[in-house]
């Protein structure tokens, strides 16, 4: 029995807390398109995993959590807190809104909306 789209996305968000990019692989469709507000789109599971491998290497702490989540068929909208801490710095609570489109039981499109300038200020302390 396939898991629900709600569970899929919640488990995906929890996987970030491991700081292990390979843990993201089972949740991502091979043709996934990831677009973080202000950055270029990243296409393909391998490319998305490499982006996050770099992010995990940069931060000493990664604490992602879902605040609210709504599901409408194959679309999941999630309000999240991305807790990011550089080495020697406190964890910065960066608010984020994510939209996921599910295809074949995996995330095929993923858009993150946050204010990158404000996030940089928070992370810098």
- Domain assignment present for residue 23? The answer is no
Domain span at 76: 5-18+28-124
The pTM of the whole model exceeds 0.85: yes
What residues does 68 pair with on adjacent strands? Answer: 79
What single DSSP character describes residue 15?
Answer: H
Structure tokens at 12: 């995906």
Rounded CA-CA distance 10/14 in Å is: 6
Residue 67 has a CB neighbour count (10 Å cut-off) of: 11
pLDDT tens by residue, 34-78: 999 888 999 999 999 999 999 999 999 999 999 999 999 999 999
CATH code of residue 52:
3.10.450.50
**Where in the chain does DSSP place strands (E)?**
28-36, 42-43, 61-72, 75-85, 92-103, 106-113
């Amino acid at each position: 029995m396939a898991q629900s789209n709600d569970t899929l996305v919640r488990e995906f968000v929890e996987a970030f807390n491991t700081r292990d990019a390979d843990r993201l692989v089972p949740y991502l469709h091979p043709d996934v398109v990831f677009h973080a507000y202000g950055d270029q789109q990243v296409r393909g599971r391998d490319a998305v995993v490499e982006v996050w491998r770099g992010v995990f290497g940069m931060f000493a702490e990664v604490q992602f959590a879902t605040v609210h989540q709504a599901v409408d068929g194959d679309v999941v909208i999630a309000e999240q807190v991305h807790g990011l801490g550089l080495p020697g710095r406190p964890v910065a609570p960066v608010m984020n809104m994510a939209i996921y489109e599910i295809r074949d039981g995996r995330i095929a499109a993923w858009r993150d909306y946050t204010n990158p300038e404000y996030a940089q200020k928070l992370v810098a302390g």
